[in-house]
Structure 1
Amino acid sequence: MPIIDLQRRMRQLGEIRIGRVVDTGRVSKKTNKPILRPEKLNHFRFTSPSREILTEVATLYGGEVQPWTPANGGPSEFEVYSKANRLPVLIPPRDAVSQWYELYAGSKCQRRCDGVTEHKSDRPCICNPEDRQCSITTRVNVMLRDVPALGQWLLVSKGYYAAVTLPPAAELLAQAGGYVAGWLGMEEKLVQRDEGPARFMVPTLDVEITPAALMAGQITGGPQAVASGPERVAITSGRPDYAALAAEAKTAEEVGKLWTQANQAGHLDDDLAKALKARAAALGAVPKEQERKEPEPTPDDEGVFEGEVVEDTPDPAAAEGMWFQIMAAAGPRGMTTAQLETAFAQQHGGLHPSSATVAQLESFLVALKGGEL
């Protein structure tokens, strides 16, 4: 019988990078070494110990193979500055995206934490949640469809936007049960900060299949041959076993995502809703208050009632699933249901979460995770 952990681990061919480090021209007084700073790139950069594989990469995506030595003093490798900012990839069915809070000293990882447990020492996380020493580290594993080499490529990002956008896509794709044809891209983000605007690149994952098709059933097999156009994947009819997936969920937030998925696919019936609520409650979520007496409306100075202008229609089922996710995200921060409701009302002009739209709840969840509350 084969050794399972070795059987499931594919060879890493190299790394796909969206930046580099450059010399600032200054020298550290402590180490007497040059001070480096990160610099974003507009096209992908590849590094690998294999010159032969990078030669194939350069042929496909442009650039020249040249020697490269990591700034942290690691083994010498090779690099290619390509002309591509969008790559055809195969996304693996498991471990496509992983995340940790990590702290490094040079090239050595000192801490690797999931927000609760520090796994290198097997003890509770020692960082202050409001001022972490560790950095969010998101890793993406893909296969390059057109490069003739068997193995995966790793992309590492320490940015906030990659951390919040890539894992949900990977979780959805994990239900496919096989490799999914897609595209690895990069987008520039502009953020206004107190010290001025900041521009940085964010990795993106796109697939060659619609979200509705993914939700409608599981993907079987690999990419199928078609007469023309991009590679597609076969879809089976039916619906996911949401109850079984919920039973395997580790957090109430995962249950909330299943709720949203089932609702959008038209699969959320009364029995499934009860099962998902029970599972979320078992994982510590507290459902939001369903009934609340609203105050009598009053007109503004122009005699217009606030209720006369409706921008979005609340979706109770989808909103309930989103509230599970908010409760799960609030748990590590020590916020109670009452505190969440108060914070939400402050952000939305006194509106209670039970009357909110999905878009308003999503915006609140992003703000909560981003530490803006």
Structure 2
Amino acid sequence: MGSRIMTMKRQAAELGRIRTGYSRPNPKPNGRPIPVKSKTFILTSHSREYIAAAADLYGGPVEQWTPQGQPVAQWRVITEATELRAILPAGDPLDQANEKWTAGGCERRCDGVTEKLSGRPCICLAQYGDDWHERKPEEVCRPTSRVGVFLPDLPDLGVWRLETKSYYAADALAGGLDTVLQATGGRGLLPVRMWIEQRKAVRGGKTKQFQVIVVVPSLPKLRHALSGPISTAAALDPASLDRPAIEAAPVERPDYLAEARGCRTADDVIGVWHKAREAGHGSDELLADLKTIAEDISKGIDPQTGEVGDQDDDELGPDDEGVYDVEVLGEGDGPVGEEPPAAPARSSWPTAAQPGSGARR
């Protein structure tokens, strides 16, 4: 069995990024690119295959794109999707820090209390006080939030990194994910819905407009979100949580006419009618058919063949010489000449519309 470096981070491959904004060229000479807030999600990747698959799924044109300050071109699609269905991996998927980047790389990375690269107390707080985040981006760190999610309908196994550098969005995203993680405690996968929401806040008498990414569990009912970790199959198909584990097979309607044709007496046929009526299958049409079968049986007609008498009893017919192989009864030996029993009274038949019969038309 192999071994691992215990201090090494174990994370899925990053297939691409999920963004909520882009920049357009500045018409002024040497002007900085102008940031644009997008109302739909933007997906970027080094792989054209992934972006083409995303364009097929979410709409939007595939285009080549070079991130600001980077020499390597990537691929991008500004989708038509205002909402994404994703799956959160196990553990805490959120990584947040106050970061300041320059052309030389990350200059500061701070948790709000300690700047990690230098070990000094938060530099932005010391210089500008509690409202440091309202300073110009080039002067202070920017609250940076990163979340890795699976997009199950796109190719390959890996995460798509969602990133935002908004102070207000960082707070909303952390709160939303903490609520989501209450469902699983970070154990197991969890399907989520993400969408871009426009908000505003009043600070210092000024109204600030910003957008946040809302993340909520994507489950059929609230109770599913509060019942703990779910299976991988349920994460891929949340609707399965609301389906019975084993669906009952459909119950076939009995063939009452076939059962009645196998009866020996009219009373037995009446019993078939009672059975059908109690099962909710009673109807005027079935009642009429069963009455016809009962009358045939009373007349000695076989309801299966339509012939009179028991035609299969060969011993009742004469042999080749015309002799009947039966015992002939004489006077006083049996019920010779006695009338056959009467057919059952028709009053024993309930009607399909009889009150309280339970019949359904």
Same fold (TM over 0.5): yes
Mapping of residues 310-329 of structure 1, within 5 Å:
none
Partner of residue 57 from structure 2, selected from 48, 55, 60: 60
Partner of 2:154 in structure 1?
147
* Secondary structure of the structure 2 residue equivalent to 1:224: helix
**Cα-to-partner distance string for 1:212-268 (whole Å, 9 max, x where unaligned):** 5544x4214324289x9746599xxxxxxxxxxxxxxxxxxxxxxxxxxxxxxxxxx
Counterpart of 2:79? Answer: 82
The within-5 A match list for 1:329-348 is none
Take 1:107 and 1:76, find their aligned partners in 2: how far apart are those partners?
A: 19
Q: State the partner residue of 1:161.
A: 168
- Given the superposition, is the C-alpha separation of residues 134 and 232 from structure 1 closer, same or farther in structure 2, using an over 3 Å criterion? farther
What SS does structure 2 have at the residue aligned with 1:53? helix
The question of whether the paired residues in 2 share the 8 Å contact of 1:136 and 1:163 is answered with yes
| Alignment CA distance shift 1:63-1:113 (3 Å) | same
- Matched residue of 2:98: which SS? strand
Dislocated runs of 4+, deviation >6 Å: 193-196
Map residues 195-214 of structure 1 onto 2, 5 A cutoff: 198-209=208-219, 213-214=224-225
SS at match of 2:20: strand
1:183 aligns with 2:193: yes
**TM-score normalized by structure 1?**
0.55
Letter in 2 for 1:93: A
Which of 231, 243, 250 in structure 2 is aligned with 1:221? 231
Flag the 1:176–1:223 CA change in 2: closer, same or farther, 3 A.
farther
Unaligned runs of 5+ in 1: 28-32, 235-373
* Contact preservation (8 Å) 2:99, 2:109: yes
Change (3 A) 1:223 1:120: farther
Partner of 1:177, secondary structure, is: coil
RMSD across aligned positions (CA): 2.8
1:15 to 14, 17, 29: 17
Structure 2 contact 86–150 (Cα < 8 Å) conserved: yes
Which position in structure 1 is the counterpart of 2:118? Answer: 121
Cα gap change, 1:92 to 1:5, in 2 (>3 Å)? farther
Q: Distance in 2 between matches of 1:182 and 1:225?
A: 9
Q: Is the 8 A contact 2:173 2:212 kept in 1?
A: no
- The CA distance in 2 between the partners of 1:107 and 1:170, in whole Å, is 32
Between Structure 1 and Structure 2, the one with more strand by share is: 1
Does the alignment pair 1:96 with 2:93?
Answer: yes
The alpha-carbon deviation at position 200 of structure 1 amounts to: 3.2
TM-score where L is the length of structure 2: 0.56
Does structure 2 retain, via aligned residues, the 8 Å contact 1:224–1:233? no
Distance of aligned partners of 1:125 and 1:230 in 2 relative to their CA distance in 1, 3 Å threshold: same
**3-state SS of paired residue (2:54):** helix
Distance 1:232 1:134, change over 3 A: farther
Select 2:27's aligned residue among 16, 25, 36: 25
| CA pair 176-112 structure 1, distance change in 2 beyond 3 A | closer
Cross-structure match for 1:138? 145
Larger Rg: 2
**Percent of residue pairs identical:** 32
Identify the residue that residue 336 of structure 1 maps to in structure 2.
none
Residue 4 (structure 2) aligned to one of 2, 18, 21: 2
